[in-house]
């Protein structure tokens, strides 16, 4: 298939999926969600490991404000497909690895938090910028809290500033990092692709039932997200940022 937002290749039992929207800083639009959902379903059949990657300077910067701005019906924003995509990463019968280089922000952190393993290089940085626009990462937080705990996720949300790879590793958001992250990824894959797919499937199904917060929080997270994106003041701030590059506090 020809994808508009992804580059996909398969090697042995590993599926490599690269976010590829270089002109849009790898932001998330509905096409990316649809295409990635389709690819992950294909990976259920034969892949043991799925690797998510971005560009050298940016992994994924979250929602595409430009796309939302040019959508005639801005209040029709539906976060459920993206939330379901992150659930798919946590539940799929494959091991999911986020290989992060450069910036991961907002929904990009959602992909990271939903992955089984996170590897990074020394350029990686992670941030939640939503509160700058009067939003908060309602759909990201259930996955992020599951991974790093309430207070660290709370701090990251309030500060809106990026943390670097070393701090992300100390917090548990990153499992391993190295200046040569490609080599780090290869070492992990040598081990992980040997695991039997049936064992991975059973283990992840067990873990999914053991920790149900991401399931139980789905309705509340989606409702909160829809409420925020129906706030006309927030939409005006987003429009101003897209058109003029100004934050809400800029005169």
State the CB neighbour count (10 A cutoff) for residue 122: 13
DSSP state letter for 171: H
Please report the pLDDT score of residue 231 as a whole number: 94
Query: 6-180 sits in which CATH class?
Result: alpha beta
DSSP string, 37-92: HHHHHHHHHH-SEEEEE--SSEEE--B-HHHHHHSS-GGG---HHHHHHHHHHHHS
Angle, alpha carbons 114-119-121 (nearest 5°)? 135
Confidence of residue 71 (pLDDT cuts 50, 70, 90): low
Contact call for residues 27 and 104 (beta carbons, < 8 A): no
Which residues have a catalytic role annotated? 64, 130
Residue pLDDT, tens place only, 180-226: 999 999 999 999 999 999 999 999 999 998 888 899 999 999 999 99
pTM recorded for the entire structure: 0.95
Distance between CA atoms of residues 85 and 71, nearest Å: 22
CA 168: distance to chain centroid? 15
Distance between CA atoms of residues 134 and 157, nearest Å: 11
Contact call for residues 129 and 113 (beta carbons, < 8 A): no
Distance between CA atoms of residues 2 and 211, nearest Å: 37
Token pair belonging to 5: 């937002």
Distance between CA atoms of residues 32 and 61, nearest Å: 13
Residue pLDDT, tens place only, 128-178: 999 999 999 999 999 999 999 999 999 999 999 999 999 999 999 999 999
């Amino acid at each position: 298939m020809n994808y508009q937002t992804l580059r996909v290749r398969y090697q042995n039992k590993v599926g490599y999926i690269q976010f590829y929207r270089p002109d849009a800083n790898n932001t998330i639009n509905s096409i990316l969600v649809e295409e990635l959902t389709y690819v992950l379903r294909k990976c259920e059949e034969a892949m043991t490991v799925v690797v998510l990657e971005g560009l050298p300077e940016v992994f994924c910067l979250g929602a595409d404000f430009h796309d939302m701005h040019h959508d005639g019906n801005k209040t029709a924003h539906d976060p459920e497909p993206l939330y379901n995509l992150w659930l798919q990463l946590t539940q799929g019968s494959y091991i999911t690895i986020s290989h992060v280089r450069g910036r991961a922000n907002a929904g990009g952190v959602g992909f990271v938090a939903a992955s089984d393993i996170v590897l990074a290089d020394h350029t990686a940085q992670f941030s939640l910028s939503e509160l700058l626009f009067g939003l908060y990462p309602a759909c990201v937080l259930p996955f992020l809290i599951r991974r790093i705990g309430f207070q660290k996720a709370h701090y990251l949300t309030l500060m809106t500033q990026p943390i670097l790879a070393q701090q992300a590793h100390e917090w548990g958001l990153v499992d391993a990092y190295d200046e040569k992250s490609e080599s780090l990824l290869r070492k992990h894959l040598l081990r992980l692709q040997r695991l039997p797919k049936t064992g991975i499937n059973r283990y992840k199904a067990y873990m999914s039932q053991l920790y149900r917060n991401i399931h139980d929080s789905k309705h509340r997270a989606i409702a909160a997200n829809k409420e925020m994106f129906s706030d006309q003041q927030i939409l005006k701030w987003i429009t101003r940022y897209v058109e003029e590059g100004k934050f809400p506090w800029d005169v």
